Amino acid sequence: MIKITPFDERTNSEDILSTYLNLVASVVPFYPEDVFPEGKFLWEGTWHEADRFWEIAGKRCRNRTEGYTRTLKRYGIREEEPVSRQERIDNDALLAHVFHYDTFAAKAEVSTLLDLMGVKVCPYCNRTFITTLEVEKGSLRSQIDHYKNKSGYPHLALSILNFVPSCAQCNHLKRDKDFPVLYPYAEEMGGSWVFATRPRGSVMYLTGAPSEKDRFEVVGKRVYQLEEEGFEERLGNSLEIFRLKELYDGGHREHVLDLFRQRYVFGEDYLQSLCDRFPDLFHDLTDVKNTMYFTDIRRENWGKRPLSKLVHDIDEEIEGGEKIID
């Protein structure tokens, strides 16, 4: 639904990459010099030669077992494509002996990696905070969805660009499905699919009256723009797999009603007067709206608060006055 920043475009990209590579080096049955692209690794702010990884980090990579050797002989890493039932046997072997994600996920440092990646809200649904929190015994953290599932693409099981931090619900809904959805590191719904409201016999819900909660529904409106090839399919799959239409209409209609009530009570003139009166607090009308809505409706900040896209789209609907009427 919303776009998130790839690790290599973040200001702390070096910390993210070093944490990730250190994790991988302690999991895969490769020699450290095979993992670190420059032949060096960063540990506690200091660069070291890769062949000193076991000594400095105090972690040995997984043993090169007979299963690992046998798997490499039997399986050649091939181009990204779905696998047949027969090939699944080899894929299971890859996950068990080479790209061992379960071992990777069990590492405490994964929480550090997720925190550094800075994804605060689930990008698939934009409904839930997924902040990493250190607790007395371990940590609370987001789940990691594999954009390309592990069973079909085991060679991507440990790829950081295949990791999509997500909420438990979205990860469960997507599970092992191999249907392409919107890839959060590169695309989002943006203005191509927007939330709107549809009256159910009356438009009095526009006043935000609590009694009007069941007199409208939250729907989506497709707006065709210049889009990448396959966008339509990925958009449709995202809506269906993550049940976004049902979740937003069934779970957030009261929130939308609150938005209408706020705009009905605090009109445009009043909001502009706040902007004029407190120039140090509000640089423009959007700053005032963010304060009123307790969110950030700027597109580049949708990933900071849950429901930001919904609030943005409904605010646009209020400004434009256009409703969907069958």
What is the tens place of the pLDDT at every residue in 125-142? 999 999 887 766 666 788
Residue 249 burial (CB count, 10 A): 18
Cα radius of gyration (the chain): 24
- The whole-number average pLDDT for the span 30-42 is 84
The mean pLDDT value of the chain amounts to: 86
User: What global pTM score does this model have?
Assistant: 0.86
> Angle 121-125-127 (CA atoms, 0-180°, nearest 5)?
55
Contact 44, 31 (CB under 8 A): no
Residue 101's pLDDT band, with cuts at 50, 70 and 90, is confident
| Residue 197 half-sphere exposure toward CB, CA atoms < 13 A | 32
Where b means 16+ CB within 10 Å and e means fewer, 124-158 reads: bbbbbebebeeeeeeeebbbbbbbbbbebbbbbbb
pLDDT at 117: 94
Distance CA 111, CA 300 (A): 25
pLDDT of residue 60: 63
Look-up of token digits 């990884």: 53
Sign of CA dihedral 265, 276, 320, 125: negative
| Averaged pLDDT, 231-246 | 95
Among the listed residues 241, 270, 254, 226, the one whose alpha carbon sits nearest the alpha carbon of residue 310: 254
Check pLDDT > 50 for residue 78.
no
Q: Is 102 helix (H, G, I), strand (E, B) or coil?
A: helix
Q: What is the pLDDT of residues 49-61, one digit of tens each?
A: 988 888 888 766 5
Tokens linked to 112: 């550090």
First to last CA, the chain: 26
Classify the phi-psi angles of 321: left when phi > 0, otherwise alpha if psi is within -120 to 50, otherwise beta: left
Encode pLDDT of 132-191 as tens digits.
Answer: 877 666 667 889 999 999 888 888 899 999 999 999 999 999 988 889 999 999 999 999
- Alpha helix (H) ranges present in 98-182? 101-105, 109-117, 168-174
